[in-house]
């Protein structure tokens, strides 16, 4: 059973004005880390949610300070924080693991625009016991978020618009894991939205791709910067009789890919394995793995 939990551990309000190299920063982080070691041991779901309410309050105060956008937080444990390559976006995500093996996700978007820092709360609207549909056509706004831990952010531009492709992980339940690809962009009014019609797979066009596979399996879903493609482990059932029973799905040693063309991610099946595995490893993903967060990135 998966027992890990993501929690944002950040400096609380009195220390927001401190310089990046001020030694009390480390002292506060160490203290907060100790506090959330207790959260990892909490068995009561209600108590976890109670503590998480305080986290949300402290985090929002921190993020609304303009200096927080460039504040290094690599030393903060149990954190997934991505920064876009154009230095205009930071996205935070974490989760709570419930006693029944399900998860609920939390997050924030921090956007730098017109000399200001805008902060948006990501609200996971899926019922924690609900089995998400394979073809998901909802969850387009920050207030109706699909919910996952993001571990890669790819910045692309087309027709003067900037698109942030986010790759994430969802622990789902005790039988399966999920990986998700979706695209975040901002409207002319500056509102963050998860874009529709961004992925073309054969003749189908969708807003989000969801991959489901066995809990004990490992799926590769990573950006290959050298070839400018997203590499995808092709998933198949262990036996034909288990078709559409995703607890029996895993990689079959072939690879697919997505390539960004004309403002969309275009699907290509059965790509050259030499191209698929020839990518530069992502330091952030490796750091998350070393923290014992998950084995299946």
Phi-psi region of 12 (alpha: psi -120 to 50; beta: other; left: phi over 0): beta
Tell me the pLDDT tens digit for each residue of 48-99: 888 888 778 777 887 888 888 987 777 667 778 899 999 999 999 988 888 8
Look at residue 127 in the predicted model and tell me its pLDDT. 59
The pLDDT score that the predictor gives to residue 79 is: 72
Give the whole-angstrom CA distance, residue 128 versus residue 171. 11
Residue 189 pLDDT > 70: yes
What pLDDT is recorded for position 54?
79
User: Phi/psi class of residue 97: alpha, beta or left (left: φ > 0; alpha: ψ in -120 to 50)?
Assistant: beta
Got the DSSP string for 88-117?
Answer: SEEEEEEEEE-TTS-EEEEEEEEEEETTEE
Instruction: Count other Cβ atoms within 10 Å, centred on residue 110.
Output: 21
Calculate mean pLDDT across residues 255-278: 92
pLDDT at 59: 78
Q: Which two tokens mark 245?
A: 């029973």
Higher pLDDT, 186 or 29: 186
Which of 122-126, 233-237, 288-292 has maximum average pLDDT?
233-237
Identify the pLDDT of residue 292: 43
Q: Give the confidence band of 235 by pLDDT, cuts at 50, 70, 90.
A: very high
The pLDDT value given to residue 143: 93
Q: pLDDT over 70 for what percent of the chain?
A: 76
Q: Look up tokens 């901002």; give the residue.
A: 186
Number of Cβ within a 10 Å radius of residue 199: 21
Residue 192 near residue 186 (C-beta atoms within 8 A): yes
CA dihedral 103, 133, 204, 270 (to 10 degrees): 60
DSSP reduced 3-state for 200: strand
Higher pLDDT, 176 or 27: 176
Q: pLDDT at position 70, please?
A: 86
Instruction: Give the bridge partners for 222, in sequence order.
Output: 231
pLDDT, tens digit, 9 for 90 and up, residues 23-36: 343 544 565 466 56
Token pair of 103 as six digits: 């998860």
Whether residue 13 has pLDDT greater than 50: no
**pTM of the shown model:** 0.84
The span from the CA of 96 to the CA of 80, in Å, is: 13
Compute the distance between CA of residue 99 and CA of residue 267 in angstroms, rounded to an integer: 38
Q: What is the pLDDT of residue 94?
A: 86
Among 46-50, 135-139, 246-250, 282-286, name the most confident range: 246-250
Res. 231: pLDDT tops 90: yes
What's the pLDDT at 296?
A: 46
Domain ranges of the chain: 13-71+79-290
pLDDT at 77: 74
For 138, what's the count of Cα atoms within 13 Å in the CB-facing half-sphere?
11
The gap between the terminal CA atoms of the chain, to the nearest Å, is: 17
- In the beta sheet, which residues pair with residue 133? none
Residues of the chain with pLDDT > 90, as a percent, come to 55
Q: Mean per-residue pLDDT for 132-153?
A: 80
User: Among candidates 210, 209, 212, 294, which has minimal Cα distance to 248?
Assistant: 212
CA distance 21 to 26: 9
Per-residue model confidence (pLDDT) at position 18 = 45
β-pairing verdict for 149-158 and 116-123: unpaired
Query: Which H helix or E strand runs over 40?
Result: helix 23-41
**Greatest CA separation for the chain:** 60
Structure tokens at 74: 């690599």
């Amino acid at each position: 059973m998966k027992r890990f939990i993501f929690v944002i551990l950040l400096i609380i309000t009195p220390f927001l004005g401190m310089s990046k190299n001020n030694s009390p920063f480390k002292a506060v982080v160490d203290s907060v880390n100790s506090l959330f070691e207790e959260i990892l041991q909490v068995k009561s779901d209600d108590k976890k949610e109670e503590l998480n309410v305080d986290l949300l309050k402290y985090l929002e105060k921190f993020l609304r300070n303009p200096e927080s956008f460039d504040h290094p937080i690599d030393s903060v444990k149990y954190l997934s924080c991505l920064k876009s390559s154009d230095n205009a976006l930071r996205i935070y995500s974490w989760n709570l693991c419930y006693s029944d093996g399900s998860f609920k996700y939390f997050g924030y978007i921090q956007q730098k625009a017109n000399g200001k820092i805008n902060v948006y709360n990501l609200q996971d609207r899926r019922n924690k016991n609900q089995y998400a549909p394979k073809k998901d056509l909802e969850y387009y706004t920050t207030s109706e978020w699909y919910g996952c831990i993001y571990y890669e952010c790819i910045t692309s531009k087309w027709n003067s618009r900037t698109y942030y492709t986010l790759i994430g992980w969802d622990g789902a339940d005790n039988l399966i894991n999920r990986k998700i690809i979706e695209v975040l962009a901002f409207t002319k009014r500056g509102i963050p939205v998860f874009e529709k019609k961004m992925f073309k797979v054969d003749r189908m066009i969708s807003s989000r791709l969801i991959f489901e596979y066995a809990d004990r399996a490992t799926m590769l879903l990573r950006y290959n910067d050298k070839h400018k493609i997203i590499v995808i482990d092709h998933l198949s059932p262990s036996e034909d009789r288990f078709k559409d029973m995703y607890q029996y799905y895993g990689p079959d040693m072939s690879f697919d890919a997505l390539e960004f063309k004309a403002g969309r991610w275009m699907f290509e099946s059965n790509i050259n394995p030499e191209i698929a595995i020839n990518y530069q490893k992502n330091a952030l993903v490796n750091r998350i793995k070393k923290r014992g967060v998950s084995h299946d990135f």
